[in-house]
Structure 1
Amino acid sequence: MKNTKSLILNTTIEWISEKDYREISLRTLTNSIGITTGAFYKHFNNKEDLYYQVSILLSQELTERLNLDITADPTSELLKVAEQICLLFQNEPYLMAFIMLNQSNNLDRQNFVFLDAINKLIQRVNPTKNEQSNKALFIQLWSFIQGYGALIKNGVTNYDRGLVKNTLYKLLEK
């Protein structure tokens, strides 16, 4: 039973790495694994539930992959994260589009390790500010990284480390 769920999750992650996640049909996914749609529904309520659970897994993997350290200098750590995410958008565009742009995340910090870590870094870089100020800073940083990453993914621009660094420092008022 658990192996089937893991197989579905892992296959979905493989597919997401190779193509736009919105193009994945449930029927094609289940057929490729050799299970029925009924077997799928024993583990997931629907495709959105599958994407939500995949998002949680990928959030954990991204945190580990980026070697995110919430105890490090928060400005340096946020810059490192921004740079690495932009490079991942360049090198793994479909995977990053799913991680950063799919709607299943909905900024749910409790289940998404990556978002929680970013928020903790923002609180450390902005310790005297109130929660509303930190939320605004998070949205500004997140919007820049997502937007710039999407431009890189779509070939509109190439990654520019100086641009990322200057923008991050302006947002952090450094």
Structure 2
Amino acid sequence: MSDKKQYTKIKILQTALEDIDKNGYEELSLRKLANNCGLTTGAFYKHFASKDELFMSLMLKLSVSLTENINLKSNEQYTPREELLHLGQNIFALFKEKTNLVDFLFFNPVAQSVYKQSSEVQNAFPLLRSVRTLINELIDYESLELDSTETFIKIWAFLQGYMLLVRNGVTEFDVTLLSATLNSLLRKDN
């Protein structure tokens, strides 16, 4: 890929993230995005074949960025259970600070389709991969007789549902509730 084409693609991604951060993903217009990047709609499609392809690229970029910001494995003194709680707290802290970006990463239609794809596709997303790895480490570390896939689904569903409740003003984030729920989902008799 030429330097100019790579620069344009990076500009599109950055401009789209800024627009999503400001207005939410539902308001993203490809025509406006192309215009804000100094491109025609046709020129935009030379870089991304569809809005779904753009969203997939944005999700990968955002997943890398959020995972780095969360600082997984930042303190080797944490047990895997403590690290999972730390991860949850940091996701909610980022959600509070960058609601539209985290909302996009978790809830846009393309994100929902990723869960239906192979584990290879899912593992391309650092945040998903990190959560899965952490759950596997926790199960091994505590010798829990839990299915790692089922446990991941339960924890991921809880995080998503809790975020929706917080986003919609039904409740406020409470670290005690997060901790109690994670502990409940990770009981040996579960």
Provide TM-score, normalisation by structure 2: 0.84
Structure 1 outlier segments of 4+, above 6 Å: none
Aligned position for 1:159: 173
CA distance in 2, matches of 1:137, 1:110: 16
From the superposition, tell whether residues 31 and 164 of structure 1 become closer, same or farther in structure 2 (CA, over 3 Å): same
Aligned position for 2:13: 9
CA distance in 1, matches of 2:9, 2:96: 30
1:151–1:157 contact (8 Å) kept in structure 2: yes
For structure 1, the residue ranges without an aligned partner over 5 or more in a row are none
The count of residues paired between Structure 1 and Structure 2 equals 173
For structure 2, the residue ranges without an aligned partner over 5 or more in a row are 116-120
CA distance in 1, matches of 2:55, 2:79: 33
1:117 and 2:121 matched: no
1:52 and 2:19 matched: no
Q: Post-superposition shift, 1:34?
A: 1.2
1:86 and 2:86 matched: no
2:155–2:185 contact (8 Å) kept in structure 1: yes
Aligned position for 2:28: 24
Identity rate, percent: 38
1:149 and 2:169 matched: no
| Pairwise CA RMSD | 1.9
Q: Which has the higher contact order (CA 8 A, sep 6+)?
A: 1
1:35 and 2:39 matched: yes
Q: Tell me, what secondary structure is at the counterpart of 2:49?
A: coil
